[in-house]
Chains A and B, each alone.
Chain A
Amino acid sequence: MNIDLVIAGVGGQGVLSIAWVLDHAAHEAGLYLKQSEVHGMAQRGGAVSAFLRISDQPLSSVLIAQGSADLLMSVEPLEALRYTQLLKPSGWIVSDVTPMRNVPNYPAMSDLTQVLFGAPRLVAVDATRLAHKAGTIKAQNMVVLGAAAMHLPLPGELLEKHIAALFARKGERIVNANVHAFRKGDSASRFTSALLAAGIAGDLIAKVVSKVHFPPHPVAPDVLAAWAQRLRSPGAAQLIQGLQEHDDLTRLATHAELANQP
């Protein structure tokens, strides 16, 4: 077993906290790890990244070779695109869709999502809004980690244990918010995978998942089935249009109920 992960974001978005949780979980699982990170000048609002390699065999390089990362998680959509040359053609991208516009030439959101949503294996979540609903907007990184979790060789409970350890000194409320954020991300990811397995096109899924409010637990099978059916129906385009026009996230159940209506 050998898995290469790229974690991306902007300085201050908690890239190193994601890496910390994964490092300690991998270590407790008895796996070898190498993790490189960025310090210094780039941390001032610039692009930051961490590479994490986990294996049951001793590892050599701290760097990830081109085309060999299994998964790329990003706390910012433009930053997700910065490292795609490291990703295997079959690799997963997990990304927040909320832009951090601190450069004057930041691309138009429609252009950016068009490129990002073209990725064949993508979990696109509004991690910022989901984190806010989980209790703190700062937990956007834990939503992203949660959305990556089902593709990692580490049990969710182990990751949650180290999330709790990381935030323990900030008190129970912050721990719970971060764990909830993690679970919301996981829920979005499982929803995405199920729809992909049901044959729904990736860009349609991304348009739905990035606009829906997920609960801190997996979505019920009947709700999932209703969504799959709805996205296969002629009304899918209109449904997605409706989601896009709504500024905030739409509650998942509402549309499931709609789908069940005759």
Chain B
Amino acid sequence: MTDLILLGDEAVARAAIDAGITAAYAYPGTPSTEIYQTIADHAKEFGLPIRGFWSANEKVALEEAVGVSYAGCRALVSMKHVGLNVAADPFMNLAISGVHGGLVIVVADDPSMHSSQNEQDSRYFADFAMVPCLEPASQQECYDMTREAFDLSERLQVPVLVRLVTRLAHSRSQVQLAAPRLPNTPNYVADPSRFTLIPANARRSYGQLIDKQAPLSAFSEAHPYNQLTVVGQGHTGILVSGLAWSYLREALGEHLAQYNVLRIATYPLPVKKIRQLMDCSSDVFVVEEGYPFIERYVSALGLLRERRIRGKLSGDLPRMGELSQDAIKPCFGLTVARALQLDGLSKVLVGRPPQLCDKCPHSDAYIALKEVIAELGVGVRVMGDIGCYTLGYLEPHQAIHACLCMGASIGMAIGAAHAGMTPALCVIGDGTFTHSGMAPLMDAARENTNIKVFILDNSIVAMTGGQPTMVSDDEVIQLVAGLGVARDHIRIVEPTAHKKHQTMATIREELAYTGLSVIVARRACVTYAKEIKAIKSHKREIPVVAA
């Protein structure tokens, strides 16, 4: 065999390269991070002229890709599911304007919340925006469908969403690659009015998007992966999509031959095929990874009674968490296998949650912060944010009391201060700060809101595997000052055991001041020390203007 062993994420990346992308953009987030990482590594290793980078955030990443598309070239954007919330504004409007060069957005959902704060299903976003969504069920399909997504995007001039889930993104199998093709030659969009969404143009473009729905439906109806297998009139039917297809085959094995089965791999839904399945089946099970998206449509929330639709809404399948072959088996009267039993197992089997690394600078920052807070008595709350330092919620620190979404800590502290909470404290990392913490800090600076913002500057985006941050060290100070924070109240502390008392004294001083303070806890991540060194030396080599 000449094929490669690839992660689902890596297969997407190789497909994008072979589809002839000119650029790729992303913001790191589990389980999507390896997509852009693979593109960047592969392009570097083989000297491919693929542009792009880790963007400031997902919104910016998508906008950069739209620029590539406007110029007639192909681009890939990748992010985790909650990243699409950040990119929702360009995403919804790009659906209206349509694309010029092929533009594919890969979104990795995280059912079971392995490394996320929710398990939102990106198929809803594709449906909302009226753009097609492709849902691979194997590593090979990750490759083939990403290639196909670029063709579809250019043919119908729509952005295409490819939906992955954690178990697909982060599992490996053999993948056969197809012949690569060259990138497009730049050719600006002929009719710029399409991309100029003033109401008069937007109304016309929206009409065009509605007109595209018929060919998109035809695409789904004809897609070979959307395969309908009818074994007989009146048999139980199964509607299955995405990775659930792999679990269903495994769970049912040879029993699958007793059911009428429609597999769905592309959206908009192939309605005619669903109609055929329902016409020849008795009850219909809907087995899908994520929210009960298909089930809601075909059951009309239980309002239509012509067929009994069974799935997550009916309680036949678990409403939360990722599926597995074992979760599916009971629906079809199959039993789960008996496992090895060990006496006394439950008494010794304790959990092992993730934790901050040994000698992590965040630990020292939290120790100092908590000791100062303890001096103030009980009830002090700290708004947290997203990154390694979110682990400060757990033992032994238990130092943060909120974590909503990227960048929310500062806005929440402002609101808490307005509601009368003193002190109003928040903690945010250097990476998350530039992702979406700058705008709320401008709000606080404008009003000189009495909040204390701790920026934990460890010089790297550590949680997702060591991507470079936009700013670190003195750049953080310049940025914070530029946003309007008074220089006197931008303080730098070094989070080490050795300097703990100085750090605590600085925090006390700023707590005594009524107004906005930013305390930067500056010490490089210990785990990515080597990477940080490489990033910082590379920064010095960068020419002032990148052509």
Contact = CB atoms under 8 A, between A and B. Distances in A.
Interface of A: 10-11, 23-24, 27, 30, 32-47, 59-63, 65-68, 78-79, 81-82, 84-89, 91, 102-107, 111-112, 114-116, 118-120
Given A39-B30, A40-B115, A81 B348 contact: yes
A90 B108 CA distance: 37
B173 A34 contact: yes
Nearest to B3: A27
Nearest to B173: A34
A62 B167 contact: yes
Contacts of A47: 351-352
17 contacts: A11-B354, A23-B172, A27-B1, A33-B5, A39-B31, A41-B463, A42-B115, A45-B352, A46-B355, A47-B352, A61-B246, A84-B345, A89-B338, A91-B340, A115-B343, A115-B348, A119-B340
Interface of B: 1, 5, 30-31, 33-34, 114-115, 167-168, 170-174, 246-247, 249-251, 324-326, 336-345, 347-357, 388, 391, 395-396, 463-465
Nearest to A120: B340
A24 B5 contact: yes
A46 B353 contact: yes
Nearest to B343: A118
A82 B339 CA distance: 13
A84 B336 CA distance: 14
A235 to B, nearest CB: 28
B348 A10 contact: no
A104 B395 contact: yes
Contact of A45 (B174, B338, B341, B354): B354
B173 A65 contact: no
Given A40-B114, A46-B355, A105-B350, A67 B339 contact: yes
A36 B354 contact: no
Given A40-B114, A45-B355, A65 B250 contact: yes
A191 B348 CA distance: 28
Given A24-B5, A41-B354, 19 more contacts: A35-B171, A37-B172, A39-B30, A39-B465, A40-B114, A40-B463, A41-B114, A41-B391, A45-B355, A47-B351, A59-B173, A60-B250, A61-B246, A61-B324, A65-B251, A66-B336, A89-B340, A103-B352, A104-B396
Given A27-B1, A39-B33, A62-B246, A112 B356 contact: no
A66 B329 CA distance: 11
Contacts of B340: 67, 84-85, 87-89, 91, 119-120
B339 A84 contact: yes
Contact of A115 (B342, B351, B355): B342
Nearest to A86: B339
A44 B168 CA distance: 22
A86 B336 CA distance: 11
B351 A40 contact: no
Contacts of A46: 352-355
Given A61-B250, A65-B336, A27 B170 contact: no
Contacts of B463: 40-41, 44
A234 to B, nearest CB: 27
Nearest to B336: A66
Contacts of A43: 354
A136 B326 CA distance: 40
Nearest to A11: B354
B114 A42 contact: yes
A61 B342 contact: no
A18 B354 CA distance: 21
Contacts of A88: 337, 339-340
A1 to B, nearest CB: 16
Given A41-B30, A61-B250, A65-B325, A36 B170 contact: yes
A65 B329 CA distance: 10
A220 B247 CA distance: 46
A66 B246 contact: no
B83 to A, nearest CB: 14
Contacts of A40: 30-31, 114-115, 463-464
Nearest to A93: B340
A32 B342 CA distance: 32
Contacts of A104: 395-396
A35 B173 contact: yes
A63 B344 CA distance: 26
A112 B30 CA distance: 33
A41 B396 CA distance: 17
Contacts of B337: 65-68, 88
A65 B356 contact: no
A61 B325 contact: yes
A113 to B, nearest CB: 10
B348 A111 contact: yes
What 10 A-B pairs come out closest when comparing CB atoms?
A67-B337, A40-B30, A46-B354, A40-B115, A36-B171, A67-B339, A61-B250, A62-B171, A44-B354, A107-B348
B249 A81 contact: no
A43 B355 CA distance: 9
A89 B337 CA distance: 10
A38 B395 contact: no
Contacts of A114: 344
Contact of A119 (B30, B325, B342, B348): B342
A106 B339 CA distance: 24
Contacts of B168: 62
B339 A118 contact: no
Nearest to B114: A40
Nearest to A44: B354
A112 B342 CA distance: 11
A63 B247 contact: yes
B227 to A, nearest CB: 15
A65 B170 contact: no
A78 B348 contact: yes
B452 to A, nearest CB: 27
A91 B341 CA distance: 11
A119 to B, nearest CB: 6
A81 B350 CA distance: 10
Contacts of A11: 354
Contacts of B348: 78, 81, 107, 111-112, 115
Nearest to B168: A62
Contacts of A82: 349
